[in-house]
Every structure is written in structure tokens, then in C-alpha cells.
Amino acid sequence: MKIYLFVFLLIIGCSKKNENVLYVYNWSDYIDETVLTDFEKEYGIKIIYDTYSSNEELLAKLQAGSGGYDVIFPSDYMVTIMAQNSLLEELNIKSLTNLKNIDQLFLNPTYDPEQKYSIPYTSGLTGIAYRTDLVTDEIDSWKIFWNAKYKNKTMLLNDMREVYAMAFKILGYSVNDTDPIHLAEAQKLLIDQKKYLKKYESDMSKDFLLTKEASIIQQWVGDSYQIMEQDSNIAFVIPKEGSIKFTDNICIPKGAKHKENAEKFINYLLRPDIAARIINVISYSMPNLAALPMVNDEIKNDKNIYPDEELIKKYEFVLDLGEYTSTMEKAWTELKSY
């Protein structure tokens, strides 16, 4: 009898222990780590944290059924794709009492009109980070990536939609263009650029820029500002042709084992003090209005981080291209192996 009781208590104990965890899968360099440890202390929930560097990597992981994640951060168009593929849990909005801090303009977006699956986390855009001590030209255009002077010193994001968006914008097309003739033109341009390319790389390109192994990289605004803080010879520019603007979101993947913990975590991230701490570390804007008074002035007043519409009028949100995605994927695979 005693042994049964012991086993029973052991099982209860283990399952209780398992409940106090949360598996978080986020973009690299997209959180203030002290916010994670403070959450663990405050809620007694241990966070297991893992990172990715593109929406497509996140999608592939979820489609493979691996990871066991409870919280993920897909961009706008990826929320649509994931919702359509039944990869997201519906959120219990009532549990998210801090949603009131979010700017109304960011609620009920076209990619999730009923706010069923996603809560906006950050927003930003893609531009060029470069070394002012190595680049003598004035940079205002994506075309700098085709300048032979910077051969083997340029890096583009390892991100299909970002790379084609850049080429489409140079050619005067939309980032969501689906004309195969335009794709062929973009492909030609990008094949030509490979002569000057060191590597397609999203995360490590920042280190390459810091160590001067690269001079010019395609990079997201906040990630660029994070390295600008480490090296005053790094600058960031918004190219005149435009490119992608995004809203990244907090979601719960289908079948998440710790949904309640996930909702506690999401509500915690929506707290003004927590949001402000994250913004001050990652240098991306968040639609959390109540956080603004606690955001550092140099971030709040920076037009690249909090841009006005005029500055980014040529910037577009990525849309799901439906079946055409596989056509682009084929071109991307070909481009990378070229």
C-alpha cells in the first residue's frame, strides 16, 4: 500500500513540476534577458528559451511537429499562414488584462482581423547597417550591394522574402510581386550580386560588421542599433527605394502544453514596465503606449525606430503569396546554390 502511495505522490509531484515550465521560441536578440529571469522569480515558472532567425525556420519547425513550444513570435504574414494551417491556438483574450496598453491602431490587423491568434509585440523595418570607417560612399540606396569596391564585404539577410523584397524594390516592384517575369529579373540581379556577397546571414552578420569582416549588411533596424551601441563607427540607413516593414507578434502554437503559463507570460510582456525594458535593450518599437514614458529618449526620438509614414512610404508589409511561395522558394534555393 505504502509503495502505491509513494508512486502516486511521485507522479503528482512530477506532473506539478512539469506544469511550472514555459517553452519560448523567439527571434535572436529580441528580448531583455533580465525580463525572463524576473518572470521566473515572480511566477515560479521556469523558461526554456530558444531562438530562430527567420519566419520560414519557425514555420518549418512547427510543421515538423518539433520543439514543443508554448510561445512563438511570427511576423504578420506568418500569422496568416500559420492560422490557415491550424498551427495556432486561439488566445483567451480575457486573460490578457494588459492588452489595454496596446495602441488601438495595432489591434485587429488585416493578418488577424478578429485578434484570435496574435498579440502585436514589436514593429520595425529593414535597412542597411554599415561601417563608416570602411565605406567612403554616401549610402542611400540598396544599389550599394552591387558596388565592386565592397566585394566580399557585403552580407544580405538569410531570408527569402527580405532578399527578393530588396531586388523588387530596386526594380520598382512591390515586395509582394507575383509576376514570374519580374521574379526572373530579380533573380538576374541577385545572381549578379553574388560576386560581391560574403554570405546570406541574418544573426552573425552583425558580428562580421563588428569585426570588420563585412562593411555593409542588410539588417533589421533594432539589430543594427544594438551593434551601433557597441561601435560608434556603425551607422544605419533607410534606403530610398523602400523595403519591408513588419509587425512581429506573440502567439501560442497549436497543442502547446503550457497554455496558461503562456498567457501569463504574454500578459507579463504587455506590462508597461516590462515592455519599456525590452524596448530599451532591443531598440525596436512596441505598440505599448503605456510603456512610452519609460522608453529612453534617444530611442523614442529616433525616426528609424519610431518612423513617421512619410519616411517609410515605400515600405510595405509582406503578404502571404499563397501557391506562388513555392515558385519563389525554388528561385531562392537556386540562388543560394549558385
Residues lying near ligand N2P in the complex (CB under 6 A) are found at: 27-30, 75, 124, 220, 223, 246, 248
3-state secondary structure of 48: strand
From the centroid of its chain, how far is CA 156?
A: 16
Least Å from the CB of residue 164 to ligand N2P: 15
Q: Enter the C-alpha cell of residue 324.
A: 506562388
Closer to ligand N2P by Cβ: residue 45 or 157? 157
Minimum distance from CB of 74 to ligand N2P (Å)? 9
317 closest CA partner among 120, 95, 70: 120
- Would you say 126 or 215 has its CB closer to ligand N2P? 126
In the bound complex, what is the minimum distance in angstroms from residue 69's beta carbon to ligand N2P? Answer: 17
- Shortest Å distance, C-beta 60 to ligand N2P: 16
In the bound state with ligand N2P, the residue whose beta carbon lies nearer, of 45 and 129, is 129
At 246, is the secondary structure helix, strand, or coil?
strand
Whether the CB-CB separation of 128 and 217 falls below 8 Å is answered with: yes
> In the complex, which residue's CB is closest to ligand N2P?
27
Count how many residues are written for the chain.
338
Nearer to ligand N2P, 80 or 261 (CB): 80
Nearest to 168 by CA among 310, 214, 160, 77: 160
Kindly state the smallest distance separating residue 86's Cβ from ligand N2P, in Å.
Answer: 23
Which of residues 54 and 98 has its CB atom nearest to ligand N2P in the complex?
54
Q: CB 254 → ligand N2P: shortest distance, Å?
A: 21
Determine contact, residues 44/20, Cβ cutoff 8 Å: yes
Report the residue number, 27 or 106, with the smaller CB distance to ligand N2P.
Answer: 27
Cross-sheet strand order for the sheet of 71-72: 46-52, 21-27, 71-72
Strands 21-27 and 71-72: parallel
